Chain A
Amino acid sequence: MKVQYIAIIFIIIMIPLMLVLTVYTQSQIDNLGVQLQYDTKLYDATYDGMKAFQLNTVNNKYSQVADSLKRDVEAAIKTFITSLSNNLSLSGYSIKDVSPYIPSILFTLYDGYYIYAPTYAEKLQEVEKDSIDVDGNPVKIIKEESKTPIEYSYENILKPYIYYTVKYHKNENNDFIVNYTLDNYIILYGMVNGQYVTKSGFLIVPGKVKLEIDKLKLETILKRNILEYILPLRTLDNADQETILTLYDRAPLGNLRPIDKVSLTSNFGEKLLNRLLTTKTLATVNDDVLLEEMLDSKIDEFLEDDDEIIGENYIITDDGIIDEVIDVFKINYDGIEISDSSAKKYYVKALRFTNWINKNLPDIKVSDAIKIDGSQYEEFKDNNSYLFNTINGNDPEDLSSTFSQHRMLAIRISIQTNLNTAIAKYNERFFEEKTYNLKMPLMNDNEWEKITNHISMATFFQGLQIGNKVYNNYTVVASTENKEMISNDNMYYFKKDLTGTVYYHKIDCPNLEDDGEIIGAKNIDYDVYKSRNEDETYEYTFGDIIEGVRLKGRPQNNIKQVGDITELSACYDLTKLYKNCIINQNYIPKITLNANRLKAKYTTIGRERNNLYKVNEYINM
């Protein structure tokens, strides 16, 4: 056979092979391309959802109220699904077309999380029953009969809110639950040293806070408050009859507020008790001598012991009292003097809470964590580090500390378990219809770090047929601009420059001038919102800051200003009040923080944390 024939036969064999291979490779490449596109679309849609959440919560005065926040989460999820169906070129189709492929959405908030998932619901048979209406006439009412479900269906709902809780059991006397949050704030309930307690507060390193007391100021305040105004109706506290005496505010009679508790074993307590026992009535004590003694012993208490600053609750119960008493303290945090009273309150409260924890729970180990069924966690059982002992190097604000590592892992385990269950449950039904198994994907450490330290939204999208493959991915978007939590990263500091323009900066920005006081606020406070009235005028709602003046007191989010700047033609909903410092344009080395900046930083974080509404703070009362 001639050589050209061999060539032709070779070509006849090879060309179809090559063509098929080319088509196959190309389709694989296309699939991957589509998959990558979907990844991006999923990410974009999730960001849209998160953005909606940020906008909604900031505009929602009541976002700290659970139900209201739940509505915002639902809106965010709806935004996500709508955005996803638009992005996937499925617009025109209803949310129902996309939602079967979303086995779950995770929404982590400050002290717990929501899981949105298709949930199995049974519809019960309805039975008519005889009854009577309000006027006594016989009517038929429809009552659901629970024994015979007639229909089963999956409904996409937000499952109940789950807190980041871990139970600890050391012995019968130390058996309690800790509710973690995304930062160093914890809530504790249960038996501690044989007593049932409920406490909440920020856990810090106690050595960083130094308290000093201005004796003169203290005396003035105590004289005014205690001698002339407050004291004393008194009762013995029921729970701790033997040791604690509760003092009540006398001023608004009929509306008694406990203002202080005094230990009867203290000097002052003994004196007071003796006095009360001799009078044997609940009459007011108008004895000047006793009050003088009381004043002295209060001052002694102040000076002697940081832990028992003044009674048990004096500082914490009432903001009005705190405001005055707080002036008495000179507070140094990390060597920097704090002068803002809100910030001082944060440090005092945190110190008191931390001291209490360190005193009462010094020997709780990570391995004391148990599951609800009483068994130990595999992850924790070999770790014998002291969890709540923050005195030696265990800084709860440092992500590498024992406390933080444990907190993050505990949150992660809780989320993993519940998310896994939700997806697996839904899969039972999904698998029947689609022959595809939905599974919870493995997320990497970076993503978990995001989830356990930020308000975040994780969305899962699985089971959609693309080409000859099945799409399966998830995405995590964290939020740094919201009013649900406070962290150092969310703070901006503002300063007017020579031309009168106010710029806001990060704390280590070299363009931030050092002279004078630096004021900061959380980033969300810099936003200006615009809304349109019926008569086509616009209204602007500012955050907490106007022209460099931070307004005192709360609520501050509703200052409306109409007129000044209403000539705005473009329509959008939100902008910043001040100009962002342009640091990124040319590189300028970041500077190490000097005392002035550190002061601004500590003051701002303290103030914002103190002002943050915390759902569980009341349990300290």
Chain B
Amino acid sequence: MGDSIITVVAILVAAILMFVFPLLSVAERSDDIAQLAVQTATIEFVDNIRSTGKIQESSYNSYIQTLAATGNSYDAEIEVKVLDENPGKKVTWASGDKIGENVYYSIYTSQILETFEKEREQAKKTNDSNSEVAYLLKEGDMVTVSVKNTNLTLSQILRNFFYSVTGSNNYQVAAKHSGIVTITGTNI
């Protein structure tokens, strides 16, 4: 009797060791790869914005596609800090007799996407099929893109099964990149 219990336990342990453990390991590798892909894509996307001075809809779409190709769902946030060169007149919280206090104000993903949409409508209205849909930036603006996965990846599920580290803000794949825009963008 005691023997067969031990056998059952042994089979369970063996099963876990032989199947779940390798699976966990493979799942973690695949997350690593996803992490790498996401990081690369993010850096390329941001550097492209910095060197062209504009956020093109086409490059945004292909960035989102690259993210989706890793098999996870992501929350990608773009933040643009627009440089408000501010030499004379001041906003209310700064004194009015100084020149050159530069202020940044922020633009977020939703506003950028809204711009894309309106630009597309505008292009349709004017029958201008050549015009590029893009959000223009200028030299000195700062752009930040941060992305993290919103689903549970396989390795997260497995890990949660063994030792619980869940929380609502827990993510496995994340990347962030930012930089200063180096050229004033223009529509082609």
Contacts and interface: CB of A to CB of B under 8 A. Distances in A.
Interface of A: 2-4, 6-7, 10-11, 14, 18, 21-22, 25-26, 29, 32-33, 36, 39-40, 43-44, 47, 50, 446, 450, 454, 475-481, 489-490, 499-502, 523, 528, 530, 540, 565, 567-570, 572, 575-580, 582, 584-587, 589-590, 592
Interface string B49-93: 011110000000000000000000000000000111111110000
B184 A481 contact: yes
Contacts of B11: 3
B159 interface: no
Contacts of B98: 565, 567-570
Interface string B92-133: 000001111110010100010011001100100010000000
B25 A477 contact: no
Given A481-B139, A530-B100, 4 more contacts: A40-B43, A528-B100, A576-B87, A587-B111
B29 A32 contact: no
B84 A580 contact: yes
A576 B102 CA distance: 9
30 contacts: A3-B10, A4-B14, A18-B25, A22-B29, A25-B32, A26-B32, A29-B36, A36-B39, A36-B43, A40-B47, A43-B47, A43-B50, A454-B183, A477-B183, A480-B183, A481-B184, A500-B89, A502-B88, A523-B184, A540-B99, A568-B99, A569-B98, A575-B87, A579-B85, A580-B83, A580-B84, A584-B135, A585-B111, A587-B115, A589-B122
Contacts of B43: 36, 39-40
A592 B10 CA distance: 78
Contacts of A40: 43, 47, 177, 179
Contacts of A18: 22, 25
A32 B35 CA distance: 11
B85 A44 contact: no
Interface of B: 7, 10-11, 13-14, 17-18, 21-22, 25, 28-29, 32, 35-36, 39-40, 43, 47, 50-53, 82-89, 97-102, 105, 107, 111, 114-115, 118-119, 122, 126, 135-139, 177, 179-180, 182-184, 186
Contact of B99 (A480, A489, A565, A589): A565
A22 B18 contact: no
Contacts of A490: 184
B35 A29 contact: yes
B34 to A, nearest CB: 11
Nearest to A547: B88
A36 B38 CA distance: 12
A480 B87 CA distance: 21
A39 B11 CA distance: 51
Contacts of B177: 40
B14 A6 contact: yes
Contacts of A21: 29
Contacts of A29: 32, 35-36
Contact of A10 (B18, B119, B180, B183): B18
B7 A3 contact: yes
Contacts of A480: 53, 139, 183-184
B14 to A, nearest CB: 3
A504 B85 CA distance: 11
Contacts of B183: 454, 477-480
Of the candidates A7, A481, A540, the one having the most CB atoms from chain B within 10 angstroms of its own CB is A7
A378 B172 CA distance: 53
